[in-house]
Structure formats: C-alpha cells, structure tokens
Copies of this chain bind each other. A is one copy, B any other.
C-alpha cells in the first residue's frame, strides 16, 4: 500500500493546516492575505546520495528538509508558518519508510510551529528526492537582504562552524574521534539546527544576513558581493564545537584545519553584519535567548573577502562547498 492517495490520506493529511491546507484534497493551498506583512518563500531540494546519505533514516531526512529551508527564513528575519512538500519516493521508500519520514515532519512541525499546506507525492526509479517550499511572514518591507552591509559594520556568526563538514565525514566513516563526538557530528549533519529563534534579532539589528549553507567564507563573500563592500575575516575567531576542537587538535596545520571548517558548508548558522554601535545591544539580546554569537571581522571599503589568520593574509582557493 504505497499509492499516492493512501499516502496523502493516511500519512500527510494529519499534518495539514486545518484550514489553509484544505484537507490536502483540493490540489491547492489557500493562504489569506495578512495586511502589513510580506510573505517570504524559499524552496530547497534534497537528493539521496547528494544532500543526504543512502543510510540516513528517513525521519532525519524529513527534518533536514524542513530545517535547511527554515534556516533560509531565519536568516531573513522571517517567522515560518507552513510549507508545501514534493516527495519523490525511491523504490526503498515503502510504507514504513514513509511513516518514518512523516514522523520526522511531525516532530519538526511541533518544534518550529509550521504546518503542511500541500504538495505532491510521486514515485521515482532513481534516488529519493524531496523538495519543500517554506513560507513565513515578515513585517512589511523588513526583510533583511544580503546587500545592506556598510564599511564599519561588524561581521558576526551564530553558533559554531564546521560541524556540517565534519558531520558528513563522520557519517561516511572518514573521521577518527571518540564515539560520542562522532554521534554528535553525525546528528548535526543529519539534523542541523536552524537559528529560528534568532530571526527577531536579525530583523532588528542586522544590516545584511545570509544562512551559512555554502560555507562561512563563501557566504560572507556573498554579502560582500551583494553589498558592494569588502569583508575582512579573522580565521582564528571562527567558533568551533568541542568535536571540531578535538579534530583541529589532531591536525598538523591549524590554519588549514580552520580553513576547511570555514569553507565546509552545511552549517545552517547565520552570518550577518551589524552597525558598530549596535554590537553591545546584539550581544546582550543574544545572551538573553541563549544564542552564541561570535564577532569574526569587519566590513571595509572596497570589494572582496579577505581572510586573515593571526594577522597574516590567507589565500582561499575554494571559498565554499558546492554539490554541483
């Protein structure tokens, strides 16, 4: 029993928004207008073997799907409310795998306050492929872009950087650390934690913002390019998790290790800029909601991303990770 209708009725319908999802019976979702607010939309796809591993449990795949999209909204200061979903089930996705997938969705719906609005479920002879269109609100004209950084602004990042890359290596069995750290890294790779609670701070204080999916250096570079400014990053300030620290300690070349973490991608933290005079307020507000923020450098006149390590310039050949 893995037909389209059964899958929708038995598995997805219980997740649907009670009104806007129309019971998933009407091919469309209907979202009433919310005067004074803008609708913010993002759409990311995950392909088995490319964005997740063939042996990743499907509940974590569902969670990763929602979270990579939620991360985009958080970085723009938007509050999520719902999503549309397209599932391309591979032959390995029988009923019980679909149940697992839906369990992951249900868990994250509760965590992040979003509901299923609609979508499509199809079969594919290839790798399992999922995409979600995540939607949120921002007060009118308040979306934070990549293009607002100005010379003198400070550059910050939430959380820690590098566990996305290390998590992939751990999941592939390419990392030697104790099991507890390996497990934490694998869990981060499978289920990144988007900084959704940080969205109001972004709206209030950020001049430019981006989620760290390509890699810290690449994504900070996106802000520099879009804003028409230069950005100077001090590599040694990159915030690293205990597992990342343990990994770094095993490396002969600390600079190269840090560079790998800062170009690794899949972190789903937020890199952003604030005016220098807002730095104190930022640190205070972040502490109140228990979100770690780390200053990495500053915005300067000019163009391009300039990485330093202990004051000396570092050449960066490949600033970020790309799946293509």
Contact = CB atoms under 8 A, between A and B. Distances in A.
Interface of A: 2-5, 7, 22, 25-45, 47, 49-51, 72-73, 75-76, 78, 84-86, 88, 117-127, 129, 131, 133, 138, 140, 143, 145-146, 210-211, 222, 226, 322-324
B33 A140 contact: yes
Given A42-B118, A123-B324, A131 B86 contact: yes
B22 A145 contact: yes
A131 B120 contact: yes
A26 B129 contact: no
A41 B25 contact: no
Nearest to A124: B47
Determine which residue in A42, A85, A211 has the highest number of CB atoms from chain B within 10 A of its CB, and name it.
Answer: A42
Nearest to A138: B30
A38 B31 contact: yes
Nearest to A44: B120
A43 B145 contact: no
The 3 closest A-B CB pairs, nearest first, are: A126-B126, A45-B86, A133-B133
Contacts of A78: 28
A84 B124 contact: no
A122 B324 contact: yes
Contact of A43 (B40, B72, B85): B85
Contacts of A145: 22, 26
16 contacts: A3-B322, A4-B324, A7-B324, A26-B76, A27-B72, A28-B76, A28-B78, A30-B41, A31-B41, A41-B118, A43-B119, A44-B86, A45-B122, A122-B324, A124-B126, A126-B127
A323 B2 CA distance: 11
Nearest to A71: B27
A46 B204 CA distance: 40
A29 to B, nearest CB: 5
Contact of A50 (B30, B31, B122): B122
Contact of A25 (B29, B40, B146): B146
Given A33-B140, A43-B118, A117-B41, A125 B49 contact: yes
Contact of A45 (B32, B120, B323): B120
B43 A86 contact: yes
B125 A43 contact: no
B124 A129 contact: yes
